[in-house]
Amino acid sequence: MKSAATMEKLVSLCKRRGFIFPGSEIYGGLANTWDYGPYGVELKNNVKRAWWKYFVQDREDMVGLDASILMNPRVWEASGHVTSFSDPLMDCKKCKERVRGDKLLEEKLGIEGVAGKSLKQISELIKTHKVPCPKCGACDFTEARSFNLMFKTYQGVIEEDAAMVYLRPETAQGIFVNFKNVQQTTRKRLPFGIGQIGKAFRNEITPGNFTFRTREFEQMEIEYFVREKEWKPRYESWKKDVEHFFEKILKISKERIRWRQHEKDELSHYSKETWDTEYKFPFGWGELSGLAYRTDFDLKQHEKFSGEKMEYLDPETNEKIIPHCIEPSFGLDRTVLVALLEAYDEDEAPTEKGGMESRVVLRFPPNIAPVKAAILPLMKKDPLGPAAREIFETLKKNFAVEYDESGSIGKRYRRHDELGTPFCFTVDFQTVDDKTVTVRDRDTMKQERIKIDEISALLLHYP
Ligand SMILES: [Zn+2]
């Protein structure tokens, strides 16, 4: 049976086993920053690779890109982020706590789709419903005002406005400004898309829930260019591809994923239709990915602001058109968080003394497990150590495997259960005689003997 993870249990496991640490911890931390540890980075890289393979490498209509985080500030004027990318901010007059008006309304009143309300409407709703300050309980806020979410910094040695640049709030614009470069060098014809994985930064007022909402995060984004008349069927087919990725590749349970359409007044300034996939987190439903129909808004804006033509010569009609765009966008850190939550389980395992003990196990699908297999000599001493090491040296050429000889075999099994290692291969005295090892399955805890020669095939069978 699957036992539900709580955030508290997961955060503690992530720290204990080296998946995710609090950022700058020895200095008392920096609010809302998290560092991926040795197993976290392997997990994250595996999720990235699975995404890249499925959405970019396996498709003839997709290519990849890796654009800069720092871009010409005019990009963000063209994209609308300078004027429209902001949160409604309010201060508590009593205790000076700074809050997001829309979030306060959502949390206290359960109003969905507050994002589209005007600053004035938000201020009024807070007053009418006497929403209290989360810190001191008073209901005495300043009027809501607009707070831009882009991080600013300065390029070069002089801190003056002319040298100001933004840390990109989305990876998408790097794709739009390279549309012509990519199209001309790859000679791709519509419909085709460009995928990119990279960091983005948003100065959120109220981040939280572990790695769910952080100010620095990683996105996996696609801009898929189509002719206007074909956007709807393409959009529907992207919905299926997104579902396939979550259900078939990351093996996320169907019951914990749902689609939610954005209300008209909740849509981003560039979008005509948006559906989010949401995941049922321990703290409630939360956005995992978005699928936006961005129309020809971005390319048109860049044509206007840069003066460069962003047209595509349609070989079918010989017409010059500006393509429309469908954007499947995924939060990588959220996807990793979901992979951890989905994998988390507790059950009972036999102890070496013949009793039972509770165990924590991460049931990762093998394709994203940070360690594919552990090679464990039953004892450190000769000839078991060298025999196990020989197996490890062979396997490590093709697989992410670990050699582990310290502690009792039971302790080592527990450790690898908590790391989500699908297989443990134990080397004992019989190994030296007949070239077999014991393979232990993480999920069933069943053990059987197989030949050393069969190990690679077993690991390949569970890619
Ligand atoms: Zn207050």
The tens digit of pLDDT for each residue in 277-305 reads 999 999 999 999 999 999 999 999 999 99
Reference 197, options 95, 388, 52; nearest CA is 52
| Residue 134 domain boundaries | 86-148
Give the distance (Å) from ligand 1 centre to CA of residue 209. Answer: 22
Give the distance (Å) from ligand 1 centre to CA of residue 100. Answer: 13
Same domain for 203 and 280? Answer: yes
Same domain for 182 and 296? Answer: yes
Report if residue 355 sits inside a domain: no
Q: What is the CATH number of the domain that holds 452?
A: 3.40.50.800
Reference 44, options 458, 339, 426; nearest CA is 339
CA distance 219 to 196: 8
Give the distance (Å) from ligand 1 centre to CA of residue 265. Answer: 29
Give the distance (Å) from ligand 1 centre to CA of residue 142. Answer: 11
Give the distance (Å) from ligand 1 centre to CA of residue 96. Answer: 6
Same domain for 275 and 392? Answer: no
Give the distance (Å) from ligand 1 centre to CA of residue 132. Answer: 8
pLDDT per position as a tens digit, 35-52: 999 999 999 999 999 999
Give the distance (Å) from ligand 1 centre to CA of residue 121. Answer: 21
Give the distance (Å) from ligand 1 centre to CA of residue 140. Answer: 8
Q: What is the pLDDT of residue 52?
A: 98
Mean pLDDT of 316-320: 91
β-strands 423-427, 373-377 pairing: parallel
Reference 368, options 258, 248, 209; nearest CA is 248
Sheet holding 436-441, edge to edge: 401-403, 373-377, 423-427, 436-441, 447-451
Give the distance (Å) from ligand 1 centre to CA of residue 108. Answer: 15
Report if residue 253 sits inside a domain: yes
Residue 463 has pLDDT above 60, yes or no: no
Give the distance (Å) from ligand 1 centre to CA of residue 130. Answer: 13
Question: What's the start-to-end Cα distance of the chain, in Å?
Answer: 24
Report if residue 115 sits inside a domain: yes
Q: What is the pLDDT of residue 3?
A: 62
Give the distance (Å) from ligand 1 centre to CA of residue 77. Answer: 35
Same domain for 65 and 102? Answer: no
Give the distance (Å) from ligand 1 centre to CA of residue 186. Answer: 56
Give the distance (Å) from ligand 1 centre to CA of residue 138. Answer: 6
Residue 429 has pLDDT above 50, yes or no: yes
Report if residue 352 sits inside a domain: no
- Helical (H) or strand (E) element with 154: strand 151-154
Residue 1 has pLDDT above 50, yes or no: no
Give the distance (Å) from ligand 1 centre to CA of residue 139. Answer: 8
Same domain for 388 and 321? Answer: no
Same domain for 330 and 246? Answer: yes
Q: What is the dihedral of CA 441, 447, 453, 459, to 10 degrees?
A: -10
Report if residue 353 sits inside a domain: no
Instruction: Provide, rounded to the nearest whole percent, the portion of the chain with pLDDT above 90.
Output: 79
Q: What is the pLDDT of residue 205?
A: 80
Same domain for 90 and 172? Answer: no
pLDDT per position as a tens digit, 202-238: 998 877 899 999 999 999 999 999 999 999 999 999 9
Structure confidence at residue 113 as a pLDDT band (50, 70, 90): low
Report if residue 79 sits inside a domain: no
Mapped onto helix, strand or coil, the DSSP state of residue 363 is coil
Same domain for 307 and 400? Answer: no
CA distance 234 to 188: 17
Give the distance (Å) from ligand 1 centre to CA of residue 156. Answer: 40
Give the pair of three-digit tokens for residue 366: 């093998």
Report if residue 366 sits inside a domain: no
Give the distance (Å) from ligand 1 centre to CA of residue 147. Answer: 19
Among 296, 319, 340, give the residue marking a domain's end.
340
Report if residue 354 sits inside a domain: no
Mapped onto helix, strand or coil, the DSSP state of residue 343 is helix
pLDDT per position as a tens digit, 238-258: 999 999 999 999 999 999 999
